Structure 1
């Protein structure tokens, strides 16, 4: 990260502004505008990552840090803020378009800038600070055409905005800041936002900054919300949406609909101070967005990420998402790969049989998606490590991974050899462990979330004397999924366990029936396949439930009525399930 920071003073609208620059001034300029009650230092980590490719400019807005603190709420109105921003632009990037980025109140005033002087900006990135005019129009639509959902969203945002009402009261906010609120504020960042204190943030000037900055709310909020203006912009805009923001509802992104024709959304599982908690993804998204807006060259992974983020009519739900499916050569795996491809995903179809993987990829392409076949033995740790590295290098980090590859095995416990157990556990359990570990690490490092789906079985919670190895492997997959879900939730990575019941797939035709000779083996396979075929539940139904589990982040999905009945029975009457387990299903 570039650490050289050059400081200068710029005369704004009757105030002196402290301006900080990094990087080569001949490079494209990125202007970072901080919010309340921060200073330019909230951007330190992001600025350091951007400075190698951009000329990075930051400044302390009026009332904050080393800039002037004018008195009187009128001095914090949008007109003065825009005059200050124009002065910084003229001093640091005269006559040039810049890439504008704003957080919190920095984003609110940046919306005003891109809507009133769009000719100065090549792109705009908004974080946790909507356009006040858009919010006012959004609120009025919700109230004039009420539905339970619209009213709930409006009420939810009203509750999140409790501090705005407090800031309208005279003197009280200033007294709170000057009498010791800075300490609790810093501790709240550490506990609630996982943002540790460091030199510069929170700033030593926080008591004065907090007291002065309430003028932003008093000078602008009530006036804009009562009399909203028509604010539109053609500047390419991306909104980074922290889904755990305590102050700005993710639903407020809908306020920009109809006002911004070139709009992209970047959701991230983070709180309000995402520039501090997740500077890597923020810097990467700014870089990708700015590069695309300037007509620069992007990698295939970056191009796919931008397509996935773009808002446009007719956009499919998994547009440009990268989905890895193991065991994709047939059955549930193939149906799942095709279900995601039909919804716009780029699919990695992996299977032990390369011919069936190629056929799945061909079918996915016919549905309008991109697809790539790979041969992989999920039980082979080294091969899986190479596979994961290859996927990342050629295609990028997956957004969804479906660990579906598995084998069937039935027979009495004493007929299972040690080799039988090793084979079942290597594929059914270790294959899931390898896929979850390798791709989960990639998702965590990328910092943009993702989803892992593990195919378990109704046998995971429905014991049977004839499925000791198979049921054990699937029960382990179910518990692994629950543990992963708890562990990865903080990084925005969802985990779902899918538990199909009796589904007509090819697994019955390849299952091993231990303790049976070759002729008996084939006879049992034919009987099992016939019984599953008569059940009449195809893999497409499971695939639809997998897609729904990813979209809705569902932890456990029993598929088919018998799977749901077994799950209910396991919870309500384990003793009865143990009695059923004694039945010889063969």
Structure 2
């Protein structure tokens, strides 16, 4: 990306209601038109990163809402920002940029509040093809939401009202006379860019926010004064969307509760839900994901043919749809089950394994299960150069990975004195260095992109369960656990989560391929078969581990023991470690 504001944009002035609006266009006019409407206290430049990404596929239109950026403010300000007048502005822009075809509307914050008005009033029917809403509810829907909870109160509904009331503190402030204008034209306007960088973890620079911010914010206070109280008191009863709606909800939004959208299907029958682990200003922090979802939604609306067979319909399809997930050790066991779990959620999947045929089979099945795209890759995770090459290829062909699952691992049993230095090297190369390579190479890409992500490292209950027969394996997994904890602390400021998964005894083929130090080939074969039988009798399926991995990403969990024995051992290691040390001294029966 260029890092500058709207490179190559064509500007025009559109006259409406006695004022002129500044309108910018990118992309070819003959393509479907996507109109991006900004929120408060922004100008159209908040969309610059998203707009540049969309311009290769669409005719992209952005305009400064009246009183913002380079658009004129109404005189007088009072009564000049009603939703009716904002609808007039929108229709004037649409008639100018796309007179013959309906447009695809995208709104953020107050741009979304306006968008709900545009998508539900009769006079815009036929002029809008679809609406993507983010971080801004319909004031009419909000009014009904409040009335429903006040007329039929329950403890839960009362808590929802109080919670949203606390989040809306700034709305009350903006209704006070004069003070908001003084604050924005004074210290708040000067400090706002830095407050955004800290509070929202926004990347600095890129020309956002613009120098007009203090005046934009002062004018924009009338958006609240002219609309909020009137609509919340007397919400429209006919506020039904007459177009397909895509709702993108950032789960970390400090201003809006997710509960506001609980009943939205009532008002928007053609609704697609998406969730994003981010804060309020997602046009700046998550432009890649927004551009991907907008493209997918607009394309589906333009060509409403039968849905492809491989469309994610799993529990978290709204969370992972279209995201890129890379899983190592994906040819079998936990890795394959994890690839399938993300495929069911609609993610694009890269299945990595030393077994090329196994990785290809996993990718093929992932496409059938629900992944819109899936690829297999043959890579040894212990080979740093091979991992560097993989990361560069994935970034160039598919994009930066959103979720990385470092799952590849090998087993080794045997006493410390029987374990050779070569045995140690093999285990540490895969179990530890493979994780280090993945975290360092793909984690750096996530950090440089600046749009967050998540890393999952498969450790083991052996990481905190001492054993006289697993010194090398336990050491490698304990190192993975501590590495994960350290990375979690370091990468939190970059909105990258890190989770360590500790499965326990799971029915996979790791026991069939595990090595046993200090014994001959025949004895090793016997022990492998015995271990496989024991794990088979335990019969804890890898699919449950995969489910725990997905949940860990969704809820950003730090350490996740999976099986009952892993959970029990974790508890004992923290509160009664002496008991585990005593058990470790017992002679195992092999």
Report the TM-score range of the alignment, normalised by the length of the smaller protein: 0.7 to 0.9
Corresponding residue number in structure 2 for 1:414: 417
Corresponding residue number in structure 2 for 1:172: 179
| Matched residue SS, 2:18 | coil
Matching of residue 43 in structure 1 with residue 11 in structure 2: no
Shift in Å, 1:417: 1.2
| Matched residue SS, 2:549 | helix
CA distance 1:114–1:418, shift in 2 (3 Å): same
Q: Deviations over 1:509-567 (max 9, x none)?
A: 33222112234333433444454455554545434433433443322122333322322
Corresponding residue number in structure 2 for 1:114: 119
Per mean C-alpha deviation after superposition, the further-off stretch among 171-180 and 70-79 is: 171-180
Residues 118 and 233 in structure 1, CA contact (< 8 A), matched pair in contact too = no
Measure, in 2, the Cα distance between the counterparts of 1:152 and 1:426: 52
CA distance 1:559–1:243, shift in 2 (3 Å): closer
Residues 236 and 263 in structure 1, CA contact (< 8 A), matched pair in contact too = yes
Question: Could you tell me which of 197, 201, 206 is aligned with 1:190?
Answer: 197
CA distance 1:304–1:226, shift in 2 (3 Å): farther
CA distance 1:464–1:316, shift in 2 (3 Å): same
CA distance 1:490–1:304, shift in 2 (3 Å): farther
Corresponding residue number in structure 1 for 2:223: 216
Corresponding residue number in structure 2 for 1:73: 78
Residues 464 and 582 in structure 1, CA contact (< 8 A), matched pair in contact too = yes
Shift in Å, 1:479: 1.7
Residues 315 and 345 in structure 2, CA contact (< 8 A), matched pair in contact too = no
Measure, in 2, the Cα distance between the counterparts of 1:33 and 1:342: 33
Matching of residue 18 in structure 1 with residue 22 in structure 2: yes
Question: Could you tell me which of 76, 89, 99 is aligned with 1:84?
Answer: 89
Shift in Å, 1:250: 3.7
Q: Deviations over 1:158-212 (max 9, x none)?
A: 2111111122233333343345431233332232123467596444444443333
Corresponding residue number in structure 1 for 2:102: 97
Residues 500 and 559 in structure 2, CA contact (< 8 A), matched pair in contact too = yes
Shift in Å, 1:432: 2.6
Question: Could you tell me which of 465, 469, 473 is aligned with 2:468?
Answer: 465
Matching of residue 31 in structure 1 with residue 62 in structure 2: no
Residues 269 and 448 in structure 1, CA contact (< 8 A), matched pair in contact too = no
Question: Could you tell me which of 58, 63, 66 is aligned with 2:67?
Answer: 63
Residues 269 and 491 in structure 1, CA contact (< 8 A), matched pair in contact too = no
CA distance 1:435–1:159, shift in 2 (3 Å): same
Per mean C-alpha deviation after superposition, the further-off stretch among 391-400 and 503-512 is: 391-400
How many positions carry a matched residue from both structures? 579
Corresponding residue number in structure 1 for 2:555: 552
Q: RMSD over aligned Cα, in angstroms? A: 3.9
Measure, in 1, the Cα distance between the counterparts of 2:346 and 2:13: 50
Shift in Å, 1:286: 3.7
Matching of residue 426 in structure 1 with residue 425 in structure 2: no
The 5-angstrom pairing of residues 128-527 of structure 1 reads 128-144=135-151, 149-195=156-202, 201-229=208-236, 230-254=238-262, 256-295=264-303, 324-337=326-339, 350-353=352-355, 375-385=378-388, 400-440=403-443, 450-527=453-530
| Matched residue SS, 2:267 | coil
CA distance 1:175–1:433, shift in 2 (3 Å): closer
Residues 200 and 280 in structure 2, CA contact (< 8 A), matched pair in contact too = yes
Shift in Å, 1:379: 2.9
Q: Deviations over 1:60-110 (max 9, x none)?
A: 322333412322532221111112222222333334322322222222112
For normalisation by structure 1, the TM-score amounts to 0.84
| Matched residue SS, 2:189 | helix
Shift in Å, 1:341: 5.6
Measure, in 1, the Cα distance between the counterparts of 2:398 and 2:205: 37
Shift in Å, 1:333: 3.8
Shift in Å, 1:55: 4.1
Residues 42 and 201 in structure 1, CA contact (< 8 A), matched pair in contact too = yes
CA distance 1:56–1:431, shift in 2 (3 Å): same
CA distance 1:322–1:43, shift in 2 (3 Å): closer
Shift in Å, 1:421: 0.7
CA distance 1:187–1:233, shift in 2 (3 Å): same
